[in-house]
Amino acid sequence: MQFSAAQIAVMINGKIEGNADMTVASFGKIEEAVLGQLAFLANPKYEEYLYNTKASIIIINDTQELKQPISATLIRVPDAYTAFATLLDKYQQIQNQQLSGIQQPAYIDATAKIGEQVFIGAFAYIGENAIIANGAKIFSGAYIGNDVIVGENTIIYPGVKIYHRCIIGKNVVIHAGTVIGGDGFGFAPQADGSFKKVPQIGNVIIEDNVEIGSNTTIDRATMGSTLIKEGAKLDNLLQIAHNVEIGNNSIIAAQAGISGSTKIGNNVMIGGQVGIVGHLQIADGSKINAQSGVSKSIKKPNTVVTGSPAFDYTATLRSQAMVRSLPEMEKRIQELEKLVKALLILKE
């Protein structure tokens, strides 16, 4: 597929500088791109490549000033990174639209309902009364359990397992190896020291426009629903426990773990390897630095915390600065002690 600069500018509402008829057929990083590829510049650290890249078309910010002539056609936009992401999304949509039909062998229960323009890859399993809505893509080796609903244009990549009665919204992307709806970790301690399993009879609900990375696990609720709200973005290798709620447009980086019944607010940002204990409330707009351990609720919106146990970010930086100055403070105290002793001797 080839696109001209004029066509691309229409898609991203950009302004062309150069040859509007210039065409590209693929994408490339600005430092590696060749003729016939489209690149972008958003990070000032890569500005040097703007003047020697072989890319045919480059998307740049409106504010980017040119220090020397450029042979490539430029498309100026308010935010080059966002514009480039938009183009990649459209390109991927075109590729996915080409996928349709049911490959064999695949198992589809007679009671399942399959919409139009659906793709089901080989060795996929679609259980009883499952609903696969229009435009959904179920890749090879995926398991869709009984009574599961998969919304329109949702993409389920290879090896994803979605247990019974879970609900997946529209335009959701779930990457390979993720498990949705496994049992929550519920065990009742017994008098003899053993543990009795507490049946997990709830489900998982994933709302529209959510993306979930590879090998993430989202446990079903003991009762009710584990809930991932609209627009949330979850990275690879996460553990989301039973009855957790993740708010709208919140984002969680890899290897974080959220314990049971914790409620994450809207627009929260959680760094990699963060651990959050159960039954907490994390206020809207909170930011939790990587490797933090959160043991208490964050009640004030837009709070930034770091460390283990997690503490106010600014206060933590001040404390760290004080710790770094401790050797100098110790030296000064020792000098003061010597001075005090000398003064006492003189007084005697």
* Cα 130 from Cα 167, distance rounded (Å): 10
Last residue of a domain, one of 79, 97, 115: 97
Q: 261-283: per-residue pLDDT in tens? A: 999 999 999 999 999 999 999 99
pLDDT of residue 311: 64
pLDDT of residue 265: 98
Q: What are phi and psi of 24, to 5 degrees?
A: -135, 155
Please classify residue 288 by burial: count the beta carbons closer than 10 Å to its beta carbon, then call 0-12 exposed, 13-18 middle and 19+ buried.
buried
pLDDT of residue 329: 83
What is the DSSP track for 245-300? EE-TT-EE-TT-EE-TT-EE-TT-EE-TT-EE-SS-EE-TT-EE-TT-EE-S-B-S
pLDDT of residue 333: 87
Task: Examine the domain organization and report whether 113 and 212 are in the same domain.
Answer: yes
Last residue of a domain, one of 97, 131, 160: 97
Task: Examine the domain organization and report whether 190 and 289 are in the same domain.
Answer: yes
Task: Examine the domain organization and report whether 35 and 138 are in the same domain.
Answer: no
* Cα 312 from Cα 191, distance rounded (Å): 41
* Cα 47 from Cα 30, distance rounded (Å): 9
- What total number of domains does the chain contain? 3
Task: Examine the domain organization and report whether 197 and 243 are in the same domain.
Answer: yes
pLDDT of residue 270: 98
| Torsion sign over Cα 118, 123, 128, 130 | negative
Task: Examine the domain organization and report whether 79 and 205 are in the same domain.
Answer: no
The boundaries of the domain holding residue 291 are 101-314
Tokens read off for 257: 């773990």
pLDDT of residue 348: 67
Tokens read off for 280: 């907490």
Task: Examine the domain organization and report whether 184 and 241 are in the same domain.
Answer: yes
Task: Examine the domain organization and report whether 177 and 302 are in the same domain.
Answer: yes
Task: Examine the domain organization and report whether 63 and 109 are in the same domain.
Answer: no
Task: Examine the domain organization and report whether 223 and 105 are in the same domain.
Answer: yes
pLDDT of residue 272: 96
Q: What is the CATH number of the domain that holds 38?
A: 3.40.1390.10
Task: Examine the domain organization and report whether 168 and 221 are in the same domain.
Answer: yes
* Mean pLDDT for back-to-back runs of 10 residues, the chain (348 residues): 92 95 94 95 93 95 92 95 91 79 96 96 98 97 98 97 98 98 95 96 98 98 97 98 98 97 98 97 97 96 89 73 80 86 77
Q: Which of 186, 182, 245 lies closest to 210 in space, CA to CA?
A: 245
Q: Which of 142, 150, 110 lies closest to 128 in space, CA to CA?
A: 110
Active site residues: 242
Task: Examine the domain organization and report whether 153 and 73 are in the same domain.
Answer: no
pLDDT of residue 341: 82
Asked if 186 and 220 touch (Cβ cutoff 8 Å), the reply is no
Task: Provide the b/e sequence for 7-46 (b: ≥16 CB within 10 Å).
Answer: ebbeebebebbbeeebbbeeebebeebeebbbbbbbeeee
Q: What is the CATH number of the domain that holds 221?
A: 2.160.10.10
Task: Examine the domain organization and report whether 223 and 268 are in the same domain.
Answer: yes
Tokens read off for 284: 């809207």
Q: Which of 46, 50, 38 lies closest to 4 in space, CA to CA?
A: 38
